[in-house]
Structure 1
Amino acid sequence: MSAPEPAQIPILISVQEADFDVSAEIDALTRGRADVGAVACFVGLVRDVTKAAEGAPVMAMTLEHYPGMTEKSLEAIAREAARRWPLLGVRIVHRVGRLAPADRIVLAAAASAHRGAAFEAAEFLMDYLKTRAPFWKKEETPDGARWVDARESDEHAAARWER
């Protein structure tokens, strides 16, 4: 059996304040799918130090977005992954609002018949989410709050997927 056309694979996108259950999300992606041989996923967490060189303590991170625009952007990123790899499903959950250190921020999961496509697609999803998804992040530190930009290393990681 060949992989479905990219436009036909199930793509589940959620932008939400509530936490998510990784196991339940993977189950929803694969339930009833005997053709799925691999699911690769990435779960991002809030760190307790800044990305800046000084590494100041982070007390919280607030993520903001534009409803509607953000979901369309995540859908486009997922569809691009489905165009590039023989995927059987994609699940993206991205949280918004105020999050504390160790809270889950994001889940990017790719289902495929084989692990190679699932691994590569999950990595692509995260590289593009970090650099192209319209989220704005503000870290709260003892010295005050500051907006966080994508790192140069994030841009380099995403650039390797350009064709």
Structure 2
Amino acid sequence: MQIVKSSDILHRVNDHIQAAAALESLSIAIPVQNLAAIAVLEKTNQATSAEEKVNAFNSVIRTLEPKGGSSVLARALVMRSEFSLDSGRYQDALTDAKQALTMPTTIQVSRRAWRIQADAHTSLDQMDDALRCLQDWLNHDPAFRSKIGTEIERVRRLSDA
């Protein structure tokens, strides 16, 4: 019997197809709909227009939402949330980031969602809400204590200004 370590899988995976094959070799199946959604999300990096990106995000989210929360849906929501934040649509960014945090996902996706919320609240001059988001992040992710502490201090300085 050959033992496969997670690091072995990680180092030979470059895209969603390889990830699916590696997991299938361990008898772990990925739903076809999730694979298709991941492929669409990967293509958003090559999108040439804002409309193309938004359409891709919306397509994935509309397809996956009826199935309930998933890590792929959380990732799509965070990606759309980042796009909304960068486009100055702070309320949309907050809505998607909050929804992503209600789903099972990776700590990396959760970190992005907490960061987006804090940045959106800061942009809306809602410093107390930004501080609450950062405190929530700190409570769930103490490994990032130093980084989050720096952000809390930055928001407090902005609040006092």
Normalization by structure 2: what TM-score?
A: 0.31
Instruction: Name the structure with the higher strand share.
Output: 1
**Higher relative contact order by CA 8 Å / sep ≥ 6: 1 or 2?**
1
Normalization by structure 1: what TM-score?
A: 0.31
